[in-house]
Structure 1
Amino acid sequence: MNLTKDFANGGVSFWYRQIGIPERRAALPGSRDYDVAIVGGGYTGLWTAYYLKKEQPDLRIAILEKEFAGFGASGRNGGWLSAEFAGSRERHAKARGRQSMIDLQHAMFASVDEVIRVADAEGIDADIHKGGLIHTATNPAQRRRLHEELDELRAWGYGEQDLRLLERDEREERLRVAGALDATYSPHCARIQPAKLAVGLAGVVAGLGVDIFEGTTVTQIKPREAITDRGVVRAEYIIRATEGFTAGIEGQRRQWLPMNSSMIVTEPLPADVWKHLGWEGRELLGDEAHAYIYAQRTSDDRIAIGGRGVPYRYGSRTDDRGATQKWTVESLWRMLVKLFPAAADARIQHSWCGVLGVPRDWCSTVHLDHSTGLGWAGGYVGSGVTTTNLAGRTLRDLVLRRDTELTGLPWVGRQVRQWEPEPLRYAGVQLIYTLFRAADRRENDRGTSTSGYARLANLIAGR
């Protein structure tokens, strides 16, 4: 593995390294009253504030952020603006019927285009390119899952125009992945530069008159009150939008599990490498492994690739501000070279990690209780770039007490049990990902169907 002389391990993501850390906004100056107070300055909080303020400009809205807007997963993710939605479709369908889950999927399709529309209308340059999404299979077991998933999604509202199997010639023309046996393609995905979207959206929201207080730690959330280290914010509605950092709030430690994900990015690759790889359409790339990867070709011609590193830290602790373990960097590098041997001479220029939120049933949710004024959205399990936009529009309708198509979707109002206490939580997650890695090894060696290790891991996980 080659590292550039300016290789950085830890700290902010490459996306912020590329554009620079935004100048900090002022902290909360003391106790204040608002109509809506949003805890968390990531995509969920920013989209919620944006749509509320656009719909009702006289609303007094505050965003309370411990670091700076976009510090967390919103500025560290893989840049997939995709229509993929976290969680079991069957579980969501149980709430309001099968058609409601199909409606939710179609709402996700539309949300991809909604983000692109808003970015264009508001002048947010986030390197957006709607090239679609390729999922590839590199062993017989993965190929079998790929076909099974295609058949399943057909039954959940995906038409031929939404997802299709690529013929070999088209697959090779689009993107040459070493060892690929099959691949699917969906047009409902765009590449973004995550930090540019977060910073741009925060600027637009502030320009609409929303107060964004940074360097302000919320320690406790009560009905109509957010307790911070700078004072108490009272509001008719308190919206929790903290995703992977939810466990840091008093009483929320077992609510959502902070799952860790890591990324590396290469130096810009020369034209001869890209000639070999293809990737002219700049599609997003995922695979069918259990410990899966996600990748993109950046606007300046690098490969950014991510996957699970240390999946969970004892006691729901979060990462050390983005520091990445050496073995995680090496693991991601091996996967990159395995998929793209032509890039084997490229040097790693940056690595980082971040946390995402995982509910006990692995299903995203949005909720608002008018009697207490408490609401939340999240548990995106790594599929949050698009889902946060849908959540923001749904919370807008819930706050404004509107009965709409969005408020009737099956993820609204979901209540799930908490995660187990320690040390069961830690032991369970470690076992799950040990089994997933063992399943991938077995399938790579000789498996033609999904390994029993993976089935056991999913059973323990409750997915």
Structure 2
Amino acid sequence: MEPALTRRAARGQATSDAARRASFWLDSLAESGADPLRPRTALTANAWFDVCLIGGGLTALWTAYSLMRADPTLRVAVLEREIAGFGASGRNGGWCSALFPRSTASLERTHGREAAIAMRRAMIDTVDEVGRITAAEGIDCDFVRGGTVVFARSDAQRSAARAEVEESARYGVDRLEYWDERRVAERFDVSGADDRTPAAVYDPACARVHPAKLVRGLARAVERLGVAIFERTEVLDWSAGRVRFRALDGSGATGTVSARHVLVATEGYSPRLPRARRRILPIFSLMIATEPLPPEVWNRIGLTHGETFSDYRHLLVYGQRTADDRIAFGGRGARYHWASAVDPRFEQDDRVFAHLASTLRDLFPAVGDARITHRWGGPLGIARDWHPTVSYNPRTGVGFAGGYVGDGLSTTNLAGRTLADLVLGRTSELTALPWVQHRSPLWEPEPLRWVGANLGILGTGLADREERLTGRPSLIARAIGPLTGH
């Protein structure tokens, strides 16, 4: 093999190895032989397309899918720095849920009751839409709609649970159920934060998925429709009608994509681009996965396939029973880094991993000394007002979608369908939703951004401690609630 080809193959293998380290989900694809995670060809010359999508995650891929289904004559390109699904789309908790970062009450205050209800309906419908499309396209992503069980493990959490059920009933869209201590005890071996059995809230609008199978399968589906995906292609900057890039395949090639429509879909990695540096704040969420647990342990825990779980603490945790009987479990708590830095070193934090392992064993004692096989993390994107957006300027042809605050696995599908309508100039129920054309304020410059973000993370942890000490709903949480979309 020629030296240049040898070096290119080595770079491709390094990319694949980095992807395997990025999450259990991606590693499991390579381990099973289902997907070697080899990078697609980089873009190495100037090119012209109707639509250029920046980023190779679910937002870009769902947008490309919707555009091509609507108009197969379009020339659509996706530019990705690593491989499709390398970011949050291939690392998340695998909740295809109707969760939205802004509460329905908050949306009602800012957009009105009808708009808030329309947003809720759209999010609930999106869960089924993802299931429908993945089935139609033959994307086997372990999609099982089992709902979410959110445990209320203290009196303060029980108050929060009842309040959520009561508030949702005012809008008549969500179908939340309050499960009392007796019902929880009949099904689950879950500990309380006090001496009582927890209560819970059940939300049926959620499916368990394997996120890497979803995003990688969707990438193949859009390629079948004619979309060009260029990996190991770093976007340096963009403007109306132009995207500057650099190939990372060792060729050193740089160039420009000319496009009528430029759509930015980089979420937590947005601060790497000059034009988006203060638009999105990257916060790292970390995860662990256990070894497969035996049937007798699952019989004690009580979670069935398809069910996801959490509790009502303020410093968020989330988990699922995977198709191969592991627990994939994650949470917040990693600090924000100066100047919105995004670096692979921040994906490993022994303190947070230890906290996640102890929290999981505290929640489900039956986990016992099960081995933790994978530890990973990555950045999620937060807008200054915690309000996601789908925005498009028909005059410049530039669009943006993101700010999902970790609730993006299903929201990306809704964003992609909506962006497609906006690009094609179609007026629809989707383009009338309240997040369309929403413009969040920019994040403050440093050091205010660093201080504020880390105080917010500290505050949620302190709110949990306050509730453990007082047994009452946290005053700290109430104070920071308006800053977190509630």
| TM-score between both structures, scaled by the size of structure 1 | 0.94
Q: Distance in 2 between matches of 1:414 and 1:9?
A: 33
Aligned-pair distance for 1:456? 3.0
Please say if residues 174 and 281 of structure 1, whose CA atoms lie closer than 8 Å, have aligned partners that are also in contact: no
1:17 to 3, 9, 27: 27
1:349 to 373, 384, 399: 373
RMSD: 1.8
Structure 1 partner of 2:480: 457
Q: Distance in 2 between matches of 1:349 and 1:309?
A: 21
Between 1:96-105 and 1:38-47, the stretch displaced more is 96-105
Letter paired with 2:169: R
Q: Distance in 2 between matches of 1:351 and 1:300?
A: 17
Q: Distance in 2 between matches of 1:462 and 1:15?
A: 30
Structure 2 partner of 1:409: 433
Q: Distance in 1 between matches of 2:25 and 2:485?
A: 33
Structure 2 partner of 1:54: 69
Q: Distance in 2 between matches of 1:325 and 1:33?
A: 42
Aligned-pair distance for 1:434? 1.2
Aligned-pair distance for 1:164? 1.0
Structure 2 partner of 1:422: 446
1:391 to 411, 415, 440: 415
User: In the alignment, does 2:195 pair up with 1:172?
Assistant: no
Structure 1 partner of 2:44: 29
- Partner SS for 2:282: strand
Aligned-pair distance for 1:244? 0.4
Please say if residues 13 and 322 of structure 1, whose CA atoms lie closer than 8 Å, have aligned partners that are also in contact: no
Structure 2 partner of 1:111: 126
Structure 1 partner of 2:237: 220
2:214 to 182, 194, 197: 197
Q: Distance in 2 between matches of 1:425 and 1:156?
A: 35
- Residues 407-447 of structure 1 show CA distances to partners (whole Å, capped at 9, x for unaligned) of 00111000111001111111111111112111111212332
Taking only the aligned residue pairs, the percentage that are identical comes to 45
Unaligned runs of 5+ in 1: 1-7
Please say if residues 10 and 322 of structure 1, whose CA atoms lie closer than 8 Å, have aligned partners that are also in contact: no
* Cα pair distance change 1:396/1:460, threshold 3 Å: closer
Aligned-pair distance for 1:452? 1.8
Q: Distance in 1 between matches of 2:216 and 2:459?
A: 38
Please say if residues 9 and 323 of structure 1, whose CA atoms lie closer than 8 Å, have aligned partners that are also in contact: no
1:274 to 298, 301, 305: 298
2:307 to 278, 283, 303: 283
Q: Distance in 2 between matches of 1:39 and 1:205?
A: 15
- Residues 213-260 of structure 1 show CA distances to partners (whole Å, capped at 9, x for unaligned) of 111111112111111123111111100000001111112111010111
* Cα pair distance change 1:174/1:377, threshold 3 Å: farther
Structure 2 partner of 1:148: 163
Structure 1 partner of 2:203: 186
Between 1:58-67 and 1:162-171, the stretch displaced more is 162-171
Between 1:178-187 and 1:405-414, the stretch displaced more is 178-187
Q: Distance in 2 between matches of 1:213 and 1:70?
A: 13
Letter paired with 1:437: G
Q: Distance in 1 between matches of 2:169 and 2:335?
A: 31
Unaligned runs of 5+ in 2: 1-17, 31-35, 247-253
- Partner SS for 1:232: strand
Between 1:337-346 and 1:148-157, the stretch displaced more is 148-157
Q: Distance in 2 between matches of 1:166 and 1:281?
A: 19
Please say if residues 80 and 189 of structure 1, whose CA atoms lie closer than 8 Å, have aligned partners that are also in contact: yes
Structure 1 partner of 2:382: 358
Q: Distance in 1 between matches of 2:270 and 2:292?
A: 36
Letter paired with 1:221: W
User: In the alignment, does 2:472 pair up with 1:448?
Assistant: yes
Structure 1 partner of 2:264: 240
Please say if residues 9 and 352 of structure 1, whose CA atoms lie closer than 8 Å, have aligned partners that are also in contact: no
Give runs of aligned pairs for residues 262-341 of structure 1, distance below 5 A.
Answer: 262-320=286-344, 323-341=347-365
Structure 1 partner of 2:400: 376
Q: Distance in 2 between matches of 1:193 and 1:97?
A: 36
- Partner SS for 2:50: strand
- Partner SS for 2:114: helix
Letter paired with 1:194: P
Q: Distance in 2 between matches of 1:321 and 1:241?
A: 23
User: In the alignment, does 2:142 pair up with 1:127?
Assistant: yes
- Residues 347-404 of structure 1 show CA distances to partners (whole Å, capped at 9, x for unaligned) of 1101000111100000111011000111011100010011000001111111111110
Structure 2 partner of 1:5: none
Aligned-pair distance for 1:90? 4.4
Letter paired with 2:44: P
Please say if residues 380 and 387 of structure 1, whose CA atoms lie closer than 8 Å, have aligned partners that are also in contact: yes
Aligned-pair distance for 1:318? 1.4
Aligned-pair distance for 1:78? 0.2
The number of residues matched between the two structures is 453
Aligned-pair distance for 1:157? 3.3
Q: Distance in 1 between matches of 2:345 and 2:52?
A: 25
Q: Distance in 2 between matches of 1:37 and 1:193?
A: 27
Letter paired with 2:176: L
- Residues 39-70 of structure 1 show CA distances to partners (whole Å, capped at 9, x for unaligned) of 01100000000010011000000001111110
Structure 1 partner of 2:15: none
Q: Distance in 1 between matches of 2:342 and 2:20?
A: 13
Higher-RCO chain (CA-CA 8 Å, sequence separation at least 6): 1
Q: Distance in 2 between matches of 1:100 and 1:324?
A: 40
Between 1:228-237 and 1:91-100, the stretch displaced more is 91-100
Structure with the bigger percentage of helix: 2
- Partner SS for 1:407: helix
- Partner SS for 1:453: helix
- Structure 1: which 4+ aligned runs deviate by more than 4 Å? 459-463
Q: Distance in 1 between matches of 2:395 and 2:110?
A: 22
- Partner SS for 2:77: strand
Please say if residues 319 and 355 of structure 1, whose CA atoms lie closer than 8 Å, have aligned partners that are also in contact: no
Letter paired with 1:195: A
Aligned-pair distance for 1:334? 0.9
1:207 to 224, 228, 242: 224
Aligned-pair distance for 1:94? 5.2
* Cα pair distance change 1:322/1:124, threshold 3 Å: farther
Q: Distance in 1 between matches of 2:347 and 2:69?
A: 38
Q: Distance in 1 between matches of 2:20 and 2:142?
A: 24
Aligned-pair distance for 1:455? 2.5
Q: Distance in 2 between matches of 1:93 and 1:154?
A: 14
Q: Distance in 1 between matches of 2:137 and 2:257?
A: 29
* Cα pair distance change 1:454/1:315, threshold 3 Å: same
